[in-house]
Amino acid sequence: MSAQPEHGWGAMPLPEIRTVDDLRSALSRYGFPGDRERFEEELAAAIGAAPTNDFAGAAAVVRAYRHRILIRNSPEIMTALEDARGEGGRA
């Protein structure tokens, strides 16, 4: 039997994220609390502010939230975040 980390952050199988709908599903299941709602708000704002021929802002929102899923799935990053929170952010 292997020892489990105290904080409970284990690697989860990475979902396939090929479409915005895939990302929505992944955020609902694997994201940080509130990520799905913030994603929808930021994506709508980026699309609403975009010229009709340039959706670079919307693409940036999608990339940022996809990255959050990757962060949330990384035991090393989650351990570092938990350790930093436990230290109160002290260096």
**Domain ranges in the chain?**
20-86
3-state secondary structure of 24: helix
Confidence class for position 7, pLDDT limits 50, 70, 90: very low
Mean pLDDT, the chain, rounded, equals 83
Longest dimension (CA), the chain: 56
Please state the pTM of the whole predicted model: 0.70
Express each pLDDT in 11-55 by its tens digit: 567 778 999 999 999 999 988 899 999 999 999 999 999 999 999
- Overall average pLDDT of the 67-91 stretch: 79
Through-space distance between the first and last CA atoms of the chain, rounded to whole angstroms:
35
Flag whether pLDDT at 70 surpasses 60. yes
